[in-house]
Amino acid sequence: MDFQMKRLHNGILEFKITRPEKRNAVNFEVMEGLSQAIERAKETDIRALVVTGEGEQAFCSGGDLSVFHALRTEGEAYRMLSKMGKILHELTILPKPTIALINGTAVGGGCEIATACDFRIAKAGAKMGFIQGSLAITTGWGGGTLLFERIASYHALKLLSEAAIYRAEQLAHTGFVHRVVDRINEEVVERFLQNELTIHSSVLSAYKQIQIRKWASSDLWEKMDQEIKQCAILWEAEAHHEAVASFLNKK
């Protein structure tokens, strides 16, 4: 199985991508697993959801190009992109605290997953970047729209437009990374949430609902879907397929 889901003590649910040999890249099985984790996290015994990756090298390297490069047309791309986009929208509006525990490199779609979470804790030195532009596409799972919701717009535009790689420490000042730690483990999460874990879960959900209502009134999903549609158009272009082929040949 390409993912693992387990309930830790204190009511924390951990979802882990377990494809270290693929740098924890997302395939359709991982998508389904994340969707299951979100549904499980809605249950009353869960207080928070943590998303992470297996190993010390990668949190998530984005979509598995060896799988998704077979998608050639705008329609094929949109079906895949919108599937993951809807999952990330559900993750975003989950009425529980969510944490991306960034244990290693998070690039492309990996950064989009992290952006969908409320908080991001990163291992010192972890490399991160919205590198989609280097593949002649935009963020395709709605992560660009979410980034503008999470941090100041000038930081968001810079991170997206540059398609560059940064270290966790560099992203802390933008508000994208909330805490940089030397070692990633569940104790890090418990320390980060130590005050929240003393508060009744219904209170935490009520506060999250304030933010969810704001997003609902501003048509968050519609904005994400427009982003996804634009990416699908770019996906079909030859420039994207050539860029992906060049990237896969280098590997």
Q: What is the pLDDT of residues 167-181, one digit of tens each?
A: 999 999 999 999 999
CATH entry 1.10.260.40 includes domain 3-198: no
**Edge-to-edge order in the sheet of strand 98-102:** 3-7, 12-17, 48-53, 98-102, 119-123, 179-181
pLDDT band at 117 (very low <50, low <70, confident <90, very high): very high
What's the confidence (pLDDT) of residue 251?
63
> What is the pLDDT at residue 245?
86
Instruction: At 223, list the tokens.
Output: 């904005």
Summarize pLDDT for 49-102 with one digit per residue, the tens: 999 999 999 999 999 988 998 999 999 999 999 999 999 999 999 999 999 999
Backbone angles phi, psi at 243, to 5 degrees: -65, -40
Strand 98-102 versus strand 119-123 pairing type = parallel
Helices 143-150, 220-236: crossing angle, 10 deg rounding = 140
**How far apart (Å, rounded) are the C-alpha atoms in residues 37 and 12?**
11
> Whole-model pTM above 0.85?
yes
pLDDT of residue 69: 84
